[in-house]
């Protein structure tokens, strides 16, 4: 599933192509994604694109009347293409622009979503989200405040979007290894000093992944079709049963919250 770095890479990829353009028409070939594509989006005609932003794992295309929200789900990809490029089997939505190009959403599994947020409103999917991890609002004090009453494993709390958005499974594994914290450790047991280290490595890990174009494991590719190269930098994720790159101990793999969790029983405490 594309995580925050992959969504941010997609935002960076499409923004130069959408700046100062007009959205001429929306072509919806498959309306039933995770949720039904709203009528407001299908009806859009000749609208100026005011900008592109990201909140958590949602991309927002800003228009005068509101915002188009795009979630890539488990297998979604966005591509910029010439306007008359024939669609493939899983090319579900095209946004046609005024310069004979289009933004195309491909989603094999159809777990992604395209939603509408009217001007002045906040979509229910964006309500009650925690801070963005790469902003000054994500601090050790904020993390400890949210950890102190939680007995759940720290990895699960770190992945809670009400605590901080966008720290998905891959990057939670990597950050906890770099911070030398066991993913199974109860969140409330972390000290402020440990939270300070964890905040720093979360920021560093996500920023590095964005710089590398994200992580391609199976479906994700950048807007230009290239894979994300952060996979080559993964220290624990996907390496269960292999030697720790830091100490040589065999990495342990288990499931937390139905997600694969890999850690070093020697380096992480």
Task: Answer with the one of 126, 161, 193 that is the final residue of a domain.
Answer: 126
pLDDT at residue 231, as a whole number? 62
Per the residue annotation, which of 2, 5, 133, 183 is the catalytic one?
2
pLDDT over 60 (residue 168) = yes
Same-domain pairing of 117 and 47: yes
145 plus 209 within the same structural domain: yes
pLDDT at 49: 98
> Could you tell me if residue 131 is inside a domain?
no
Task: Give the residue among 180, 156, 179, 178 at the shortest CA–CA distance from 167.
Answer: 156
Task: State the CATH number of the domain containing residue 160.
Answer: 1.10.8.50
CA proximity to 70, closest of 93, 96, 40, 86: 93
Q: Average pLDDT, stretch 68-78?
A: 94
User: Does residue 149 carry a catalytic annotation?
Assistant: no
What tokens were used for 97?
């622009």
- Residue found by looking up tokens 């964890």 in the block: 198
At residue 214, the pLDDT reads 64
The pLDDT assigned to 212 comes to: 82
- Percent of the chain with pLDDT strictly greater than 70: 93
pLDDT tens figures, 125-154:
999 999 999 999 999 999 999 999 999 999
Query: Domain containing 52: what range?
Result: 4-126
The residue-averaged pLDDT of 9-23 equals 94
Q: What is the mean pLDDT of the chain?
A: 93
Residue 220: pLDDT over 80: no
- pLDDT attached to residue 216: 45
pLDDT confidence band for 86 (50 / 70 / 90): very high
11 known member of a binding site: no
Q: Average pLDDT of 231-245?
A: 90
- The response to whether 84 counts as a known ligand-binding position is no
Q: How many domains would you assign to the chain? A: 2
Task: Report pLDDT for 61.
Answer: 98
Last residue of a domain, one of 68, 100, 126: 126
Q: Are residues 176 and 79 in the same domain?
A: no
Instruction: Give percent above pLDDT 90 in the chain.
Output: 85
Judge whether 227 and 254 are in contact, CB under 8 Å.
no
Q: Is 255 a catalytic residue?
A: no
Let me know the angle formed at the C-alpha of 138 by 132 and 142, rounded to the nearest 5 degrees: 130
Paired with 186 in beta bridges are: 153
Decide if 253 is catalytic: no
Please say if 186 is a catalytic residue.
no
Of 39-53, 108-122, 186-200, 223-237, the one with minimum mean pLDDT is: 223-237
Alpha helices in 71-153 (DSSP H): 140-147
Write down the pLDDT at residue 127.
96
Same domain, 144 and 104: no
Query: What is the mean predicted confidence (pLDDT) over 197-208?
Result: 96
Sorted by sequence, the CB contacts under 8 Å of residue 24 that are 6+ apart come out as 45, 46, 96, 97, 98
Is 162 annotated in some ligand binding site? no
CA 268, CA 176: separation in Å to the nearest integer? 8
* Catalytic annotation, pick one of 11, 55, 57, 79: 57
For residue 131, the model assigns a pLDDT of 98
Does one domain contain both 160 and 120? no
Edge-to-edge strand order for the sheet containing 113-118?
51-55, 58-63, 66-71, 113-118
- Catalytic member of 3, 6, 132, 174: 3
Beta-bridge partner residues of 252: 263
């Amino acid at each position: 599933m594309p995580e925050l770095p992959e969504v941010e890479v997609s935002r960076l990829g499409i923004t130069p192509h959408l700046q100062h353009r007009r959205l001429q028409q929306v072509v919806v070939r498959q309306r039933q994604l995770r949720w039904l594509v709203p009528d407001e989006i299908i009806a859009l005609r000749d609208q100026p694109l005011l900008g592109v932003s990201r909140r958590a794992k949602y991309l927002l295309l800003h228009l005068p009347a509101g915002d188009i929200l795009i979630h890539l789900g488990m297998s979604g990809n966005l591509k910029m293409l010439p306007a008359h490029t024939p669609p493939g089997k899983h090319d579900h939505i095209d946004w046609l622009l005024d310069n004979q190009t289009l933004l195309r959403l491909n989603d094999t599994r159809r777990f992604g979503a395209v939603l509408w947020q009217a001007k002045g409103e906040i979509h229910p999917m964006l309500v009650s989200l925690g801070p963005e991890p790469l902003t000054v609002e994500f601090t050790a004090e904020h993390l400890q405040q949210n950890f102190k009453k939680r007995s759940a494993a720290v990895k699960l709390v770190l992945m809670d979007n009400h605590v901080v958005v966008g720290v998905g499974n891959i990057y939670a594994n990597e950050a906890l290894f770099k911070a030398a914290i066991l993913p199974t450790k109860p969140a409330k047991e972390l000290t402020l000093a440990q939270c300070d280290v964890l905040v720093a490595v979360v920021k560093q890990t996500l920023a590095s992944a964005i710089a590398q174009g994200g992580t391609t494991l199976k479906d994700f590719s950048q807007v230009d079709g290239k894979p994300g190269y952060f996979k080559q930098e993964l220290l624990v994720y996907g390496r269960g049963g292999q030697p720790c790159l830091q100490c040589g101990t065999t990495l342990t793999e288990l499931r937390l919250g139905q997600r694969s969790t890999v850690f070093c029983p020697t380096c992480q405490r």
